[in-house]
Chains A and B, each alone.
Chain A
Amino acid sequence: MPPTDARAGDLVRIFRKAHPFVSSTPHALLHLAVALDGTGWHPASWREPVARPRDLFTAGYWADLVAEAERGLLDFVTFEDGLGLQSSHFLDPDERTDQVRGRLDAVLVAARIAPLTGRIGLVPTVVATHTEPFHISKAIATLDHVSTGRAGLRVQITARPNEAAHFGRRTVPPIESYDSPVVTELFAEAADHMEVVRRLWDSWEDDAEIRDAATGRFIDRNKLHYIDFQGRHFSVKGPSITPRPPQGQPIVTALAHQTVPYRLVARQADIGYVTPHDVDEARAIVAEIRAEQTAAGRADQPLHVFGELVVFLDDDPGTATARRDRLDTLAGQPYAGDARTFTGTPSQLADLLQELQQAGLTGFRLRPAVLGHDLPQITRRLVPELQRRAAFRRAYEADTLRGLLGLPRPANRYAA
């Protein structure tokens, strides 16, 4: 149980205890995020005239995308990342030359965009497997400082042997699939990683900086805390070198496809992204995550479950289908990913989102098939449609990401 603190957020917390988070009312607003990756999620997206593939490594490209997302009042954007080149294979690298390869560090891209935007959340991907939790914690805390409270992260693991070889500190045994014990262990390590990241965010109390000229003390060191984390994979002393971020705890998110990652979501996340292919599956996944949440002792804490959809959007359903077929032809095979693909009109998508919302999803992270086309379709067509249905905000109602997500600012676990 978090200790009580005298903040405005308390009222929200009390309200949420009385009205458990799972029971969203039929007319609750849904949350919308967009996943930014290269020129879009279809592997041939870079060949579309709107795609700007030559600009992928410039700040201007990313600034334009995020400005478009902010124009559509979206809750946040995520930035994909990885510790190796993209690959069309499940675990191994490829040597393809016909798809986008190469990417910029997601935290840096988010930081570069932060001063150019004012309300939208910025959620870069971080990889827990080969990185230092101390560095990740202060990087995201700093992203929260430079964006004045709009930061989050999407944590992921990597089981790719070639990425392990980029670090040379350990080998990852080859696996057949994501239910391997190796993967379970990588997720356990990621959970510890997030625990350290979160403790470090709390390792400074909000009012630790006192600037007391009388005693000459800049800080009250009783309000800085060693985190003394000892785990199976690493130990970290603390405190952070970076003061507590504006949101207290930036938003932690994770994509999850099955029980092991659902457990990570239930234990450590504020948002889990899931990939149901229909309403029944959505309901089952939400139930499983809620059960894991209870088992983890977090039943009283807000946890969003967002659905993931790859979207091809056009005003006419036939146009969307034709565009998808054209891209599939260029790619040489039909597009198939982990998430359901939606091809149709913004209005049809609004129907689907509302249907899935009834199954317990509180929002969606949409993956535009072609960013240059499908992102404006989301912001200029889907959003107005949802607004007409009173299902999406008409203006930004908060200036922090936690505020947009209806999450209170948490008390500090170390505060007396």
Chain B
Amino acid sequence: MLDIRLPIGLMFSVVGLIITIYGLATIGDVELYERSLNVNVNLISGLGTLAFGLIMLLLSEPVRKKLRKK
């Protein structure tokens, strides 16, 4: 059956990427980050989410199979 780590990995990679890009695009936006104590949480959280997604992808059966073949 489908390895759950594949959809989890894909989803968090996509979501992480979107938030990271948004974080990059809003660097220096003082008004936006005033509420988050002047921290660009989008950038940090986006990178974290992306990393989690990629790790899940690497651990998933279909990806591991492909890596083993290579």
On whether the two chains bind one another, the answer is: no
Q: Taking beta carbons and an 8 Å cutoff, which residues of A are in contact with B?
A: none
